[in-house]
Each structure stands twice: as structure tokens, then as C-alpha cells.
Amino acid sequence: MRRALIVAGVLVTGYAIAGAAGDPDLSPGGVLVFLVAVLVAHDAAVMPAAIGAGALITRWVPPDHRTPVRVAALCSAVVTVVAVPLRLGAGGLPLTRLLVVLAVVWAAAAAAIAVRAIRKHLERRAAAAGG
Amino acid sequence: MVRDADPGLTRWRRRRRARALLHRPLPAPPDALRRGPLRPGAFPSPLRSPRLAGLLGAALAVAFGICFVTGLISHLVQHPPAWFWWPSRPAGLYRFTQGLHVATGLATIPLLGAKLWAVTPRLYAWPPARSIAHAAERLAVAALVAAALFQVVSGVFNVARWYAPMPFFFTAGHYWVAWLAVGALLVHVGVKLPVARRADPGPRTRPGGLSRRGLFTAVGIGAGVVTAATVGQTVAPLQDLSVLAPRRPRDGPQGLPVNRTAAQAGVRAGPDHRLVVAGPGGSVTLGLADLAGLPQHTVRLPIACVEGWSATADWTGVRLRDLVALVGADPATATVDAESLQARGRYRASTVPPQHVGDPLTLVALRVNGGVLHPDHGYPARLIAPNRPGVLQTKWLARLTVRGGS
């Protein structure tokens, strides 16, 4: 099973390389440059920035609020990755559209934090009344 | 030296020696270089585990599988080899497969991000290469990660029509790198299968930390947000919600989006336009009045772009099969080459296969949504057929050449 997967994978990879090299519509050098560029940009910039943002959240946000903040940060990163090319491309997406999505995402995070805080407060009061 | 009597034994020994060489430990670099992210314990999150990486990988494999199959369909429809046959019904099938391709690709962004986050410590493994085999495996992983990022990033750039940063022709690059991604993925699954199988679940939660379930929920919410923000480009009822949709179904002249405008294509046609229909039984030249004088039909068909947007419209015009019959060919077996007024461009012409020629829904349209075609929609006449990508719905028709069907 493992050997079959690896052999099939090597064959398909060979087909991809031969096909790219033989395609008159394609400059394989340009593809290679872009492959290396996205890999380096991701490993050297995007992922370190994401991990750094995660560390900042752990450091500055109280434990009770971390999950909504982390989820909102992840959503913000994803929609930004999609919206920036749309802004720079032929469509010229208005930036306000991205800001609207970010506002909705962070409003939802704030609402989740508020709900948790209220629930905790009520629980404490119930415990105090009971005790 | 004594010659070995048994050649089979020699071969076995040679293979064993080669294997030993591949797995022989390489000298480790000096420990002084082990700094920053290369330090032991540089990535403290207990959420990372082989199990998490395996689960995210399985989800990614499904997403990539959907994108690969739907992408391959789109490629084959546009560049059909002799063995390939694509039906004309259901009329909205291509709209579905291509809408799914783009929506799945966009929803993959948080999943790919989470997967790469989960395996980031492996990037800084120490020593960087334990053996030649280990180095080869790492190179294969680099190819997989590069191909996966390439597909997602180039796909987003194409949807955004931002071509400046891509030093290659998008369609061809996206197609061949898809094969590279699938090949590298098969190798990766083959190598990692035993790791994924024996991966122990690891600690479930940590106080104040995200649990594995929490991470999956977060990825799901991320995918949901990006989907809600864009899917209205093909699911019309959601178009007001999808504020990031590159094109919404009712944007554009006559309430219908456009990819290439008449000005971009360098086309200007007037009311004196003539459409030439050439076939085995001779050729006819039709003015706009002649076309309007032929039996008119109105059909409700989607126009579905390879970039993921689609919109439904009411098209009115002459059935292609009626024009084919006019030049003495049998519409059930004829193939039609449709050419545009556009002088240059990759999509200035398209071929209509017999199953689409014979379909009564296939029109040479003169009107859309009750009005004469806007120049950007192909005035004076355009092709509109069921279950075809928008780039093959040739606009500004100048000539139809009928082959076969005699």
C-alpha cells in the first residue's frame, strides 16, 4: 500500500514536470520562481507573523477571552488574504468591504466575550446566594 | 576477493548496502548553530501533535481532491482530448462544478494555514537532515507545501484578476502544479501512513489553551466566514451577504456580469454586421434583420465563469441547430467552430461539439433579459449553450463553420 502510493506519487510528479516542460503556453522558470516565492514568503513571513500574533494574544488577553479573540484573529487573517488581491486586482474591491467583514468578525468576538462574562457573573452570584 | 557464486545474493547485498547508505546518519551541524526557532522547545503549544497534523491532513486531502477533480473537468471541457465527452445537460452542471472548485479552494485557506501551523516545528527539525533518505523526504515535503501554497495563492490571484505578480500564464501553471500537488501528496501519504495510524491522541486540553476540537471549530468558522463573504458570486440569494464576492450575479450591464468588455477585446460592431454561416452545403451571410427574421426562442441559461461566478439570464435568439440545418448539415452530428470579431485573444473562437449543437437550448442570442445585447455581452450576436464555461460562450459572433453532419 505504502509503496504503491509512493510509486504512484513519483509517477504523477514526473508527469507534472514533463507536462509543464512541454507546454508551449508555460514558462517553467516562472512557475519555479512562484513556487519558491510562495514557500519562502509563507515560511519566513506569514507563519512567523501568525505565530507571533498568537503569542501576543496568549500574553495580553486574559485566559477567559482568548478563544473568541483567537478565532476572530484567524478569520481576520483569512478574509484579509482573500481581500488584498481583490483590492489590487482588476476589480479594485473597495477597502470598506473588507472593513465591514472585519467589523462583523470582531463584533461577534466581543459578543462572545460579553456572553461568557455575563454567564460567569450569574454563576458566581448563584453560588454566593446558595452558599 | 572471492567471486560470489549466487548472483541473487549479490543483488540482495547490493540493495542492502544502498539502503544502509541512504539511512546512514549524516554528521550533525555544530550545536552552536542551534538558535532561535531551532532551539529545543521553541514551539511550546501542546496542541500540536502527529494526530492533529494527520486529521488536518485528511481534511486537506478531501479539499484538494474536490478541487483536483472539478479543476480537471474544467480543463478537459476547454481542451477536450478525443476520448472526452461532456454532456449538454444538466444545463447548470458546469456552474456547479466550477462554483464548487472556487468555493472549496477559498475555504481551504484556513485549513492549509492550520495544517502548516501544526507542522511548523518540523521545519526547524534538528539536525536539519539526519540522513540522505531524511533529506529526500524533506525535499518532497517542501515540494508539496510549495505546490499547495501555489495553488491556493494563484487561484485567489486569478479570482481577483491580479496577474502582475504571476510570472507565468495562470491557466497552464495552475493546471500543471495541480498534478505536482497530487503527486507530492501521494508520496507524502505513503511516507506518513504509519505515523498517522499509530498517532496517539495526545493531551486534549490545557487550561486557557485551545483544544483540538476548538481548533477545528475555529478553522470551520474561518472557512464559513470566507465562504459567506464570497459564495454569493454563484449562489444568487446570498449576493447581498457576500461583500467580498469579486462579481455579484446582478452586477454589470443588463443585470449580468462581464469578464471581457467590448473595449478590452477591441471590438466595435454596428447594425450593418453580417454573420457568415459556412457548411458542407454552401454558406449563407445573415444580416441582423435576417437573424431576427428566423424563428426566435427564449431560454433561461446560466453563464458560468471559470473564475467561479455565475448568473442566470433569459436569452433570446436563433437556435444553433436551425442555422446548421440552413447550410445543409445534420445538427445531431455536426460540430461548429464559432469565431468572434475579436482579432486576437486566447478565447476569440470556440468549438461546439455535436451534443451541444443539437441541444435546443443552444442559441445564437441577439437579446438578453428582454433587451438587445449590450456590446459587453456580445452585441450583435453571441453563443449561449447549456453546461459550458463562459469563455466558450463566444461573443461578437462573426463566423460559424459547420463541420461534419452531412
The Cα B53–Cα B186 span in angstroms is 16
Residue for grid cell 511516507:
B191
Within an 8 Å CB–CB cutoff, is residue A1 touching chain B? yes
pLDDT tens track for A11-33 = 999 999 999 999 999 988 999 99
In chain B, the number of structural domains is 2
pLDDT of B205 reads 58
Report yes or no on B66 lying in a domain: yes
Query: For a pLDDT cut of 70, what percent of chain B falls above it?
Result: 96
Q: Is residue B132 domain-shared with residue B268, that is, in the same domain?
A: no
Interface of B with A in 232-271 (CB under 8 A): 243-244, 246-247
Sign of the four-CA dihedral A75, A77, A81, A87: positive
| A residues 30..69 contacting B (CB < 8 A) | 30-31, 33-36, 38-39, 42-43, 47, 50-51, 58, 63, 66-67
Mutate to test the interface with B, among A1, A17, A36, A39 (most CBs of B within 10 A): A39
Q: Is the peptide bond before B253 cis (omega within 30 degrees of 0)?
A: no
| pLDDT 10s digits, B147-173 | 999 999 999 999 999 999 999 999 999
Three-state DSSP state, B313: strand
Kindly report which listed range (A76-80, B195-199, B326-330) carries the lowest average pLDDT score.
B195-199
- Whether A131 has a pLDDT exceeding 60, the answer reads no
Taking Cα atoms as reference points, which of B395, B387, B355 lies closest to residue B78? B387
Chain A residues whose CB is inside 8 A of the B161 CB are 89-91
Q: Report CA A22 to chain centroid distance, whole Å.
A: 35
Mean pLDDT of the B382-390 span? 96
Give yes or no: residues B259 and B338 share one domain: yes
CA distance linking residue B175 with residue B154, whole number of Å: 11
pLDDT given for residue B4 in this prediction: 55
Name the phi and psi angles at B43, rounded to 5.
-120, 90
**Looking at the partner chain, which of A8, A10, A74 has a beta carbon nearest the beta carbon of B110?**
A74
**Chain A residue at shortest CA distance from B192:** A2
Interface probe for A, chosen from B244, B258, B259 (most Cβ of A below 10 Å), is: B244
> Using a CB-CB distance cutoff of 8 angstroms, which residues of chain B are in contact with residue A13?
143, 179-180, 183-184, 187
pLDDT tens sequence across A104-129: 999 999 999 999 999 999 999 998 88
- How far is Cα B245 from Cα B266, in angstroms, rounded to an integer? 27
Nearby residues of A54 by Cβ (< 8 Å), 6 or more positions away: A70, A73
Do the Cβ atoms of A84 and A102 come closer than 8 Å?
A: no
| Residue B203: pLDDT over 70 | no
In the DSSP assignment, the letter for residue B247 is S
User: Do the domain assignments include residue B2?
Assistant: no
Using a 10 angstrom Cβ sphere, with 0-12 exposed, 13-18 middle and 19 or more buried, the burial of residue B20 is: exposed
Residues B329 and B218 in one domain: no
Residues B265 and B347 in one domain: yes
Chain A residues whose beta carbon lies within 8 Å of the beta carbon of residue B118:
none
State the average pLDDT over residues B281-294: 94
Give the residue from B329, B310, B305 showing the smallest Cα distance to B401.
B329
- Residue B285, SS3? strand
User: Is B204 a residue whose pLDDT tops 70?
Assistant: no
Which domain covers residue B284, as residue numbers? Answer: 255-403
Query: From CA B26, how far away is CA B40, in angstroms rounded?
Result: 20
B272 and B372 part of one domain: yes
pLDDT digits (tens, 9 = 90+) for A45-70: 999 999 999 999 999 999 889 999 99
pLDDT in tens, B327-347: 999 999 999 999 999 988 888
- Beta-carbon contacts of B251 under 8 Å, excluding residues fewer than 6 positions away, are B257
Question: Which residue among A11, A15, A33 sits closest to B167, beta carbon to beta carbon?
Answer: A33
Residue B97 is predicted with a pLDDT of: 97
Count of CB atoms within 10 A of residue B105's CB?
A: 24
B11-25, B35-49, B88-102: range with highest mean pLDDT = B88-102
Q: pLDDT class for A97, splitting at 50, 70, 90?
A: very high
ipTM attached to this prediction: 0.94
CB B385: neighbour CB atoms within 10 A?
Answer: 27
Q: How far is CA B327 from the centre of its chain?
A: 38
Residues of A in contact with B208 (CB under 8 A): 58, 63, 66
Rounded Cα–Cα distance for residues A64 and A62 (Å): 6
Interface of B with A in 112-171 (CB under 8 A): 113, 116-117, 120, 123, 142-143, 145-147, 149-150, 153-154, 156-157, 159-163, 166-169, 171
End-to-end CA distance of chain A: 63
What average pLDDT score do residues B32-41 get?
A: 88
Residue B48 belongs to some domain of the structure: yes
CA B392 – CA B2 distance, rounded (Å): 71
Reply yes or no on whether the pLDDT at B404 is more than 90: no
Do B226 and B272 fall into the same domain? no
Per-residue pLDDT at B208 = 63
Radius of gyration of chain B, Cα coordinates, nearest whole angstrom = 28
| Residue B12 contacts residue B162 (beta carbons within 8 Å) | no
> Are both B229 and B99 inside the same structural domain?
yes
Q: What rounded mean pLDDT belongs to chain B?
A: 92
C-alpha grid cell, residue A88: 489590487
For residue B301, give the C-alpha cell: 441559461
> What are the DSSP calls for B75-96, one per residue?
HHHHS--TT----S-STTHHHH
Instruction: Chain B: give the shortest CA distance to residue A125, in Å.
Output: 23
- Tell me the three-class secondary structure of B133-149, residue by residue: HHHHHHHHHHHHHHHHH
**Mean of pLDDT values over B226-252:** 90
Residue B160 CB burial class (10 angstroms; 0-12, 13-18, ≥19): buried
B272 and B376 both lie in a single domain? yes
Measure CA B93 to chain center: 15
Mean pLDDT of B298-318: 95
* pLDDT attached to residue B40: 87
For residue B261, the SS3 value is: coil
Residue B246 counted as domain residue: no
CA distance A114 to chain B (A): 17
One domain for residues B230 and B273: no
Q: Are strands B382-384 and B363-368 parallel, antiparallel or unpaired?
A: antiparallel
According to the model, what pLDDT value does residue B46 have?
Answer: 86
Query: In terms of domains, do B219 and B340 share one?
Result: no
C-alpha pair distances (Å), B41 with each of A50, A55, B44, B195, B209:
18, 14, 6, 21, 17
Cβ within 8 Å, pair B194-A2: yes
pLDDT confidence bin for B281, thresholds 50/70/90: confident
Looking at the structure, tell me whether residues B228 and B279 fall in a common domain: no
Report pLDDT for B2: 53
Chain A CB within 8 Å of residue B8 CB: no
Q: Are residues B332 and B359 in the same domain?
A: yes
